[in-house]
Structure 1
Amino acid sequence: MAGGNAIRGTRVGAGPMGESERGESAPRRRISYWCANGHESRPSFAVEAEIPEMWDCPRCGFPAGRNEERPPDPPRTEPYKTHLAYVKERRSEADGRAILDEALSRLRQQRGR
């Protein structure tokens, strides 16, 4: 067993910090938000602060609103798309073939064919 008179878990100059050292805290109010899963979260805001309409639920991450009866819809998750899928959204099959033919003809000219 280690001996000595060291105080464990503290550091030099550490002491209780109360409102006398920090100053008085601003008056607060708690606002309820509900998500689509029925979770209620109650963050606190300063009385003079602007209250946001939406808040992220700390339990599930869905958006939460202030109306318990009609919470915001959960975000839609779209399936993963490949680069080719995004290209096909922007270009038609004929456009793709024309671009490919143009690129191939340029390559053939560079190679001296």
Structure 2
Amino acid sequence: MKRRRNILRRAKGYMWGRKSKIKLAKIAVFKAGKYAYRDRRARKRDFRGLWNLKINAALRERGLTYSRFIHALKTSKIELDRKILADFAVHHPKLFEAIIAHAAKK
């Protein structure tokens, strides 16, 4: 009974028989868990792609390419991750320009 109650508690809010019938609820909860596990990993990939896109767009406006900029960052030993760089590119363009200038110097 405890296991059934736990499954039905997790299926609360589902539609049709998936919220009340134990067999359907069990399948729905299992699938929801699979999707949640998969998408927690996909979210990380999606955000990294979005950050790269924002950085690339800001660099293209300034006549640079993404790959050359990342290479320049690595050779000048600037260790900023893509999340921070994307934030600088969108919200702090002057700071982003300074980073570009410093990376291009070396």
Query: TM over 0.5: same fold?
Result: no
Q: Normalized per residue, which structure has more strand?
A: 1
- Normalised TM-score (structure 1): 0.28
- In our comparison, the structure showing a higher alpha carbon Rg is 1
Ranked by relative contact order (alpha carbons within 8 Å, sequence separation 6 or more), the top structure is 2
